[in-house]
Amino acid sequence: MPKKPALTDKQIEVVIGNLLRAGVLAAAVIVLAGGVFYLAHYGAQRPNYKVFSGEPADLRDISGIARDALAMHSRGVIQLGLILLIATPVSRVAFSIAAFAAQRDRLYVALTIIVLSILVFSLAGGHF
């Protein structure tokens, strides 16, 4: 009989699944709260999305969004919820590194670090 690993793949998956669901729920609550503020503020305006001009600079990166959200700007709050949503699968990858390390699986620790690096590169804005 092979020695039983500290964590089985199945146990890891269940923890990861719950982590993902909690992240999505928290993100949805923040987005909904921001959405209520947003409609209270801008509900009577006419939407115009015909021409792409890109979001203002403060809604494009994590520090700007955090500042806007703390100032309770509705668009910033929604964007904060969306950042949390994007961070959810990223945290899943980060958690997997710890889980593979607990199994002493060096190959998969290395492979997972590569995936996490790609994600962090993108979240940092993707500048070479």
Partner 1 sequence: MDNLLFTLLLWLGSVAAGFFGALTGLGGGVIIVPLLALGFGVNIRYAIGASLVSVIATSSGAASAYVKEGYSNIRIGMFLEIATTLGALFGAFLATMTPTSTIAIVFGIILIYSSIVSVRPPHPTPAAAHPDKLAGLLRVDSSYPTGEGIRNYYVHSIPGGFVMMFGAGTISGLLGIGSGVMKVLAMDRAMRIPFKVSTTTSNFMIGVTAAASAGIYLNRGYIDPGLAMPVMLGVLVGSFAGSMALIKARPASLRKVFSVIILLLAVEMIYRGITGKL
Pick the binder of partner 1 from 5, 6, 21, 98 (CB under 8 A): 21
Pick the binder of partner 1 from 5, 6, 13, 98 (CB under 8 A): 13
Q: The tokens 């002493």 sit on which residue? A: 104
Over the range 89-110, which residues count as b (16 or more CB within 10 Å of their CB) and which as e?
A: ebbebbbbbebbeebeeeeebe
Contacts (Cβ under 8 Å, ≥6 apart) of 36: none
Contacts with partner 1 by CB under 8 A lie at 9-10, 12-14, 16-18, 20-21, 23-24, 27-28, 31-32, 34-35, 38-39, 42-47, 49-56, 59-61, 74-76, 78-79, 82-83, 85-90, 92-93, 96, 107-108, 111-112, 114-115, 118-119, 121-126
